[in-house]
Amino acid sequence: MSELAIKNLHVMIEDKEILKGLDLTIKQGEAHAIMGPNGTGKSTLAYTLMGHPNYTVTEGEIWFKGQDVLQLEPDQRSRLGMFLAFQYPVAIPGVTVANFLRSALNARRRAANPTDKGIPIPEFRKMLKEKMELLKMDSNFAGRYLNDGFSGGEKKRAEILQMATLQPEIAILDETDSGLDIDALRVVSEGVNALNGPDLGVLVITHYQRLLNYIKPQFVHIMLGGRIVESGGAELALHLEEHGYDWVREKYENGEPQSH
């Protein structure tokens, strides 16, 4: 069983330290949620995990499937089985969803076997149709230009379709609920839940408990000041919904040690 292990992670952006000794382990088949107020480092964690060049790791380790992730480029991390669903996906006019997904899939296949000629088009079409049916997506979606003119909900569904196609072992969802109304949130969450299972570990990063009404995590973590300070089950998210973050600030901004 694959696991992502983050140990004592310190990360800077420009000359400001954002993550200050973060520890977290996520195994295949587990669903984790990270919550916390703005500016505490949640998105920094997501981008660091996937190797964004603006984020500098000054201390700590990230291991996945026995490999030192910090030594790998973003595309290598993806091929190893990691995936990041962006908070603000970028539009790529002129490239259809289907062509983008086929190119991504072929790049992964060629990395595993340099002589691979790519997935045959009939096989790809059949697979894509099955994935879109699983996610309850209209077949016309595949012919549209990626994220070009998409609504917020459509952009997030395109991210989930990428996840379904690439079949990662660890998926990081960075504020997937950002900008979504309740209907879109439910549709996207149903897509994530359709992919959930023993082969997929999920890290959901969110401000709000409402997303966790749909995507049920087994583990909830609270970030504050660049560290995970509280961990628990789903009841922790409900406690936050009711009481906000003030009790966390009062408890930990006085310098209490990180809990594990």
pTM: 0.90
**In a domain? residue 118:** no
Q: Do 31 and 218 contact (CB within 8 A), yes or no?
A: yes
Distance CA 195, CA 215 (A): 11
* 195: in domain: yes
pLDDT at 255 over 60: no
Residue 203 lies in a domain: yes
Q: Is 120 a member of any domain?
A: no
pLDDT tens digits, one per residue of 76-131: 999 999 999 988 889 999 999 999 999 999 998 898 899 999 999 999 999 999 99
Give the pairing type, strands 67-68 and 201-205: unpaired
Q: What pLDDT, in 10s, does the model give residues 150-177?
A: 988 889 889 999 999 999 999 999 988 7
- A 10 A CB-CB count for 260 gives 7
Q: For position 257, what pLDDT does the model report? A: 47
b/e for 72-109, b at 16 or more Cβ within 10 A?
A: beeeebbbbbbbbbbbebeeeeeebbbebbbeebeebe
Structural domains of the chain, count:
1
Q: Band of the pLDDT at 189, cuts 50, 70, 90?
A: confident
Domain of 25: which CATH number? 3.40.50.300
The answer to whether residue 122 is domain-embedded is no
User: What's the pLDDT score for residue 182?
Assistant: 84
Task: Mean pLDDT check: name the lowest of 2-6, 200-204, 251-255.
Answer: 251-255
The domain of 49 spans: 3-91+168-252
Q: How far is CA 30 from CA 2, 130, 169, 171, 204, in A?
A: 11, 24, 10, 11, 11
The answer as to whether 70 is a domain residue is yes
Question: How high is the mean pLDDT of the chain?
Answer: 91
DSSP designation for 227: E
Separation between Cα atoms, residue 152 and residue 96, nearest integer Å: 17
pLDDT bin (cut points 50, 70, 90) of residue 190 is confident
Note whether residue 60 is domain-resident. yes
At residue 18, does pLDDT exceed 70?
Answer: yes
Position 180 in a domain: yes
